[in-house]
Structure 1
Amino acid sequence: MTSSSLPTSAAADPWDWTPPVLSRWSQPVGLLRLDGPDTLRVLHGQTSQALEAARPGQWLGTCCIGPTARLGAVAEVLVDADGAWLVIVDGDPEAVRLALDRVLFPADKVRLGPVTAATLHQPLGSAGPDATPTGTWAPLAGSSGWQLGDALLLPADAPLPAWLAERSPLEPQEAERWRLQQGLPAAPGEINGDTNPFELGLAARVSLTKGCYVGQETLAKLATYDGVKQQLRRWQATAFPAEAVAVGTPLRDETGGRAGVITSSLKFPADQGWIGLALVRRAWLQEPALLAGDAANARLRLSLPAAFQSPPVGAGGGGGGGKAS
């Protein structure tokens, strides 16, 4: 991590950090091609987004979920005239392909290609040239790859355009810091088969009006009956032993009540503190701080991640009520 990435002291607010000027966040992703006239119908029924009426050139975010709405992967869908590209942003691409292959019938007019490696490049600080309008994509002129808003999706072996190559990639610690600051869920801490999209701040990737699809009944119940029991939050802390804020460490309040669990953890160099993500139970969402594990002095300050999208009204968005939730 570069010196510009570090807090100036243990008391500094780490969420005030901005990435270095003219940098990029480059994330490996899985790329899955679906061809055929039934492509959107299949994806509509097997993921959380309304896709059946999507038009060529549209780019939509979705979630790959199971029958009980447990999140398997976060994905982007790039629709074209012959089918769609499914971009597995986080999660297991091969598991997503296997799940789709299992539900395809011989009568379905869909050809499922292999998973290939690609990289999603997000320019930071300022957008690059030729950005597409929000929610649209376009093929790159003169080279393989796709423009998604101001981001670029390139096959793993494709050369970078000159303007992107001039931007420095974030170092691994910087890249993780940027992810935590935004609150982007990742496997295995947040995406592990035990969480649903509403808990992880992915409400915009879920349609509650598109009709029947895998996991729809569970998501509808969560929205209707105030059923989201926990939400993702950022946390920050001063210098503690690693075991005090390790992934899986339970969170509690001053009375010992079980309030959540740490899902991601990142240590700054030179004992300058920690940041991370945690799933916080609904009754404690309004608490400014919680304790980690059994360490009386391991106090974590909580905040809402920058990219978190609240659950639908009635789906557990509040923080009131008794501590029994």
Structure 2
Amino acid sequence: MSWQRTHRPASRGSNDERHVMMSDPFAGLPGAVVDERGLRHLGNPLGEQRALASGAAVAPLGDRTVLAVTGEDRLSWLDSLTSQALTALAPGESTELLVLDPHGHVEHAASVIDDGETAWLIVDRGDAEGLLSWLRKMRFRLRVDPRDAGDEYAVIGGTSAALDAVAAAAPADVPLVWHDPWPGITAGGYGYAVVEQHPGADRDWAEAIVTHAEAQRVADAAAAGEVALAGLLAADALRVAAWRPSWSAEVDERVLPHELDWIRTAVHLSKGCYRGQETVAKVHNLGHPPRRLVALQLDGSDSVLPSRGAAVRVGADVVGAVTSAILHFEEGPIALAVVRRGVPVDAELTVETDAGTISAAQEVIVPPEAGATANVPRLTRLSRRAPAK
């Protein structure tokens, strides 16, 4: 099976999703470029990145949606089904979870915040239907009621301070603002990246669940020049630069959380049994994941970026595939890719693009020794590029 085929194609969205995007309150703003995922940019993607990173703008996340789980057993139930320890999750506390298949492969992912009455799951829009369907099948006789809350709520992202300008929903008097724990190592987690300074260490990212009326208010405020907005391209660039995996980009049908360094925030290694837990433990304690996530600094024209699934090669051999590629306002063209574990960390890589082959400098995220390892030497990051003009 080729590397290109193992990666899930980008979701095109259902007819209902296209209708939602067509009625997007941000679509009519000056310079807005909107597709089925939502607001891509407003004419200045690099400037929007800078504003978003500094807290001067917020980003409507049309590619994200909301599921809600009510019922007295909701946290213990989710705890028993997923990779995260949730039984003691306090109201307002942020975490994330993975749903794994019996062999430990990632099937679904969700950001989680509970308000004392409801567990709110922020998920990639393309994953929502499948995750909700699976959760409903797993209810048995427990007191839980998962539902799609996308018709009630939207999601807006930005720094914690920037989101002060947004009125987060608070149906149980707890503001529904999820603070991304990445790249910290949460309780029960483990980090494989061995750089001296993780590139996401200074990243401040949060996502607010808002009513659609509030999303419209933010759009009106942006039209009046009272609120600055950034598009999905800006949000994705900051994510890629922070080596932050996402379900829609980095997950395929074979991926293990170890391969993406996702154990640091989404897996609790010492919690009770759940589906896929045996594989997670074996790979972490006894073996090595067969593939590993790397960051790529891409050479060539800044206007040429590889597509998702583009082949990564060592010489003539295909050794992996690009999962995300973006033009960053400081680092220039960058990408994330999943490659074979055995690819040497100093290997000269090339990446296929529509304009031809370009070279790619590899930065190690998950080292080949990840898994059954003691002390892996820390690495120095590649020097940052001059800011893009």
Task: Provide TM-score, normalisation by structure 1.
Answer: 0.73
Q: Which letter does structure 2 place at the counterpart of 1:231?
A: R
Per the TM alignment, residue 47 of structure 1 is displaced from its structure 2 partner at its CA by 1.4
CA contact (8 A) 1:73 1:90 kept: no
In structure 1, the residue matched to 2:241 is 181
Taking a change above 3 Å as real, the CA distance of residues 310 and 189 of structure 1, as seen in their structure-2 partners, is same
Q: Which letter does structure 1 place at the counterpart of 2:144?
A: V
In structure 1, the residue matched to 2:95 is 60
Q: Deviations along 1:126-153, whole A, 9 cap, x unmatched?
A: 555499xxxxxx9649999623345422
CA contact (8 A) 1:47 1:62 kept: yes
Residue 275 (structure 1) aligned with residue 316 (structure 2): no
CA distance in 2, matches of 1:317, 1:115: 45
| Aligned positions of 1:172-211 closer than 5 A | 172-203=232-263, 204-211=265-272
2:208 alignment partner, one of 149, 152, 155: 152
Aligned residue for 2:214, secondary structure, equals coil
Residue 85 (structure 1) aligned with residue 145 (structure 2): no
CA distance in 1, matches of 2:273, 2:172: 41
Per the TM alignment, residue 311 of structure 1 is displaced from its structure 2 partner at its CA by 9.8
CA distance in 1, matches of 2:87, 2:171: 28
In structure 2, the residue matched to 1:134 is none
CA contact (8 A) 2:322 2:338 kept: yes
Aligned residue for 1:222, secondary structure, equals helix
Per the TM alignment, residue 199 of structure 1 is displaced from its structure 2 partner at its CA by 1.6
Per the TM alignment, residue 212 of structure 1 is displaced from its structure 2 partner at its CA by 0.8
Q: Which has the higher strand share?
A: 1
1:5 alignment partner, one of 46, 51, 63: 46
| Aligned positions of 1:282-321 closer than 5 A | 282-284=341-343, 286-287=345-346, 289-293=348-352, 298-303=358-363, 314=372
Taking a change above 3 Å as real, the CA distance of residues 48 and 317 of structure 1, as seen in their structure-2 partners, is farther
Aligned residue for 1:283, secondary structure, equals coil
Taking a change above 3 Å as real, the CA distance of residues 89 and 173 of structure 1, as seen in their structure-2 partners, is closer
2:231 alignment partner, one of 160, 167, 171: 171
Q: Which letter does structure 2 place at the counterpart of 1:58?
A: E
CA distance in 1, matches of 2:302, 2:218: 43
In structure 2, the residue matched to 1:11 is none
CA contact (8 A) 1:227 1:316 kept: no
Taking a change above 3 Å as real, the CA distance of residues 245 and 114 of structure 1, as seen in their structure-2 partners, is closer
Taking a change above 3 Å as real, the CA distance of residues 30 and 246 of structure 1, as seen in their structure-2 partners, is closer
Instruction: Give the CA RMSD over aligned residues.
Output: 4.3
Per the TM alignment, residue 23 of structure 1 is displaced from its structure 2 partner at its CA by 1.6
Structure 1: gaps spanning 5 or more residues: 7-14, 132-137, 320-325
Q: Which has the higher helix share?
A: 2
Aligned residue for 1:176, secondary structure, equals helix
Per the TM alignment, residue 123 of structure 1 is displaced from its structure 2 partner at its CA by 2.5
Aligned residue for 2:253, secondary structure, equals coil
CA distance in 2, matches of 1:93, 1:181: 25
| Aligned positions of 1:116-135 closer than 5 A | 116-117=150-151, 118-124=153-159, 127-129=162-164
- Count, aligned residues: 298
CA contact (8 A) 1:32 1:85 kept: yes
CA contact (8 A) 2:311 2:352 kept: yes
Task: Provide TM-score, normalisation by structure 2.
Answer: 0.62
Residue 95 (structure 1) aligned with residue 130 (structure 2): yes
Residue 75 (structure 1) aligned with residue 135 (structure 2): no
Per the TM alignment, residue 21 of structure 1 is displaced from its structure 2 partner at its CA by 5.8
Taking a change above 3 Å as real, the CA distance of residues 196 and 115 of structure 1, as seen in their structure-2 partners, is farther
In structure 2, the residue matched to 1:108 is 142
Percent identical among aligned pairs is 22
